[in-house]
Amino acid sequence: MIYLQLFYEFFKTGLFSVGGGLATMPFLYDMADRTGWFTYGQLADMIAISESTPGAIGINMATYVGYLTVGPVGGIIATVGLVSPAIIIIMIIGGFLTKFRNNFYVDAVFYGLRPASTALIAAAGFSVVWMDLFDSSQLFAGNWFGFINWKSLVLAIVLFFAMRHKLFKNLHPVIFIALSALIGIVFQFG
């Protein structure tokens, strides 16, 4: 039964998360709240791992959640659930491609979807920044200094300026990802 639920949850996510991998974030937050399969902390880890590994972020996160929930078979089922809507829609559109080619209504729908997908991606970005840089439980406890994750803030500022400095501007982004991962490990265990 858990396999069917896992497939269903990711099928819904794949069907309604228009705009790419980060657009799946609101659905994953909702899934964490409703199912209890993972915590927000684990979700932050998923984002970090998914963005630093090859492949689409949404598929990486689906695989991670499925694996975390019920093991390797769960990873496969969640991934298949996420990509199934896209495959079905592409097959349907492919069958009617000639009718859709210059259709005013289809153009209007896609024109309307652009700002929606942009908003979903922006919301996901803001929630990742908020989750990493701020701890609202400390704020409600009256600990103003503990509200900000100072190590993450300093790392973000240093990386922001390093990427814009002419010495580092031509470095491959993988180098920044690897250095960030190394610094994160040092911060975690140091």
Q: Dihedral angle at the C-alpha atoms of 174, 51, 185, 146, nearest 10 degrees?
A: 130
Structural domains counted in the chain: 2
Report the C-alpha gap between 144 and 136 in whole angstroms. 10
Report the C-alpha gap between 70 and 32 in whole angstroms. 15
Indicate whether 16 and 58 sit together in one domain: yes
Whether the predicted model's global pTM rises above the 0.85 cut? no
pLDDT tens, residue by residue, 81-131? 999 998 998 888 777 766 766 778 877 887 888 888 888 888 888 888 888
Of 131, 147, 171, the one marking the end of a domain is: 131
Indicate whether 102 and 165 sit together in one domain: no
Q: Dihedral angle at the C-alpha atoms of 31, 127, 63, 68, nearest 10 degrees?
A: -60
Indicate whether 21 and 51 sit together in one domain: yes
pLDDT tens, residue by residue, 39-94? 888 888 888 887 777 777 888 888 888 998 899 999 999 999 999 998 998 888 77
Indicate whether 121 and 166 sit together in one domain: no
Q: What is the domain extent for residue 176?
A: 139-189
Indicate whether 181 and 102 sit together in one domain: no
Backbone angles phi, psi at 62, to 5 degrees: -60, -45
Of 82, 106, 131, the one marking the end of a domain is: 131
Indicate whether 117 and 155 sit together in one domain: no
